[in-house]
Amino acid sequence: MQLRKLLVPGLISLALLSGCSLFNSEEDVVKMSPLPQVENQFTPTTAWKTSVGNGIGEFYSNLHPAWQDGNVYAADRRGTVKAVNASDGKEIWKVDLSEKTGFLSSNRPALLSGGVTVSGGHVYVGSEKAQVYALDTSDGSVAWQTKVAGEALSRPVVSDGLVLIHTSNGMLQALNESDGSLKWTANLDMSALTLRGESAPATAYGAAVVGGDNGRVSAVLMQQGQLIWQQRISQATGATEIDRLSDVDTTPVIVNGIVYALAYNGNLTALDLRSGQIMWKRELGSVNDFIVDNNRIYMVDQSDRILALTTDGGVTQWTQSDLLHRNLTAPALYNGYLVVGDSEGYMHWVDINDGHFVAQQKVDSSGFLTEPVVASDKLLIQAKDGTLYAITR
């Protein structure tokens, strides 16, 4: 049960005053699985590593590196954004988005949280302070900065001349890609009890499809901000507050006119893109983004099982259950293998054909929260302490 993303203002004091608990009993407290013994079939190599500020510490943040045209872009929570050469990790430029107060040691942190996204000539990153920044890829200078409706926890998505931002208070906003001006706002609603995190939208055929904290998936016309359809894939039920969480925090995946969406305490669901009608669903939940590739769905569920399922009906093809409750990242598909990181700083390599382990490596002592990113022949992953690694097979 991945409680690291839980955000309910006042929840602790409310529980103490009322005498109720998030958990039914001591049996609900889960233990991390021991590290499985793996006989490496190959040894992954760290091509280079570099520090990107102070990282995210123990805060939840969706910051992860982005790659374009041979350069890698990464950020830390305080406000450092850095561009490095993808081949050797050498710094190209570095900027500090923290607020200057007149005293160098007392700058207010920018609290970057959503991103990083690179598209065209800009690097985009959002913050817990409801700011979205567009930086020039050539030198890191701020091209524009816009205040949005709430915390920008998910990564910005750029499509059709718009920068789409899903804020923590349930708003989907479209900003003009060239100057950051607000084009429209769609209110997707939210629940009183939610997880810390928001779904980034997926785009196709002029529509943006995004998950919401209310258990619904919504499709919005990108040019007008008009709601096309909404479909519920998770219902708030259960005896405890945790059981009733119904967030859809994962990014939907659109393939051949089908929307695949995944809720925390709900279902893995296939929807018709045009109508939003449910085509099939499986009772599986997660907060991690998933992969759809070659008629398969690869995912990490809320208990940290790794699964491969068919896109036709969601039939399970294999399950890897030896990493339960190790707080896995979302998976990456790299060189024919699934790769995940865990909270102890290990990376695990899994054969996509049957789910058995092919390699394991200890990379960083601070651990990982966000998924690896494929950058040509390298695999990028950013640790909680801000160290950015480039891994090769």
Average pLDDT of adjacent 10-residue blocks, the chain of 393 residues = 38 33 52 94 96 85 93 96 98 94 74 92 96 98 97 94 93 96 88 62 95 88 94 68 61 96 86 96 90 97 96 97 96 97 97 98 95 96 96 93
Residue 15: its pLDDT value, please? 31
Tens of pLDDT, residues 315-360: 999 999 999 999 999 999 999 999 999 999 999 999 999 999 999 9
**pTM summary value:** 0.88
Centre a 10 Å sphere on the Cβ of residue 259 and count the other Cβ atoms it contains.
23
Q: Which two tokens stand for residue 81?
A: 């954004």
Tell me if 43 sits within 8 A of 85, measured CB to CB. no
Distance CA 199, CA 86 (A): 28
Centre a 10 Å sphere on the Cβ of residue 258 and count the other Cβ atoms it contains.
16
Residue 60: its pLDDT value, please? 75
Q: Which two tokens stand for residue 317?
A: 């093809």
Tell me if 362 sits within 8 A of 346, measured CB to CB. yes
Residue 245: its pLDDT value, please? 54
Residue 287: its pLDDT value, please? 85
Residue 235: its pLDDT value, please? 60
Tell me if 7 sits within 8 A of 196, measured CB to CB. yes
> Which helix (DSSP H) or strand (DSSP E) does residue 60 occupy?
none
Residue 263: its pLDDT value, please? 87
Residue 168: its pLDDT value, please? 86
Residue 5 — φ and ψ, nearest 5°? -105, 10
Residue 4: its pLDDT value, please? 38
Residue 56: its pLDDT value, please? 86
Residue 239: its pLDDT value, please? 52
> Residue 280: how many CA atoms within 13 Å on its side-chain side?
9
Q: What domains sit in the chain, N to C, each tagged with a CATH number? A: 3-392 (2.130.10.10)
Residue with tokens 């259950």: 321
What residue type is 347 in one-letter code?
M
Residue 219 — φ and ψ, nearest 5°? -115, 130
Distance CA 154, CA 134 (A): 15
Residue 369 — φ and ψ, nearest 5°? -120, -40
Q: Which two tokens stand for residue 33?
A: 């699985």
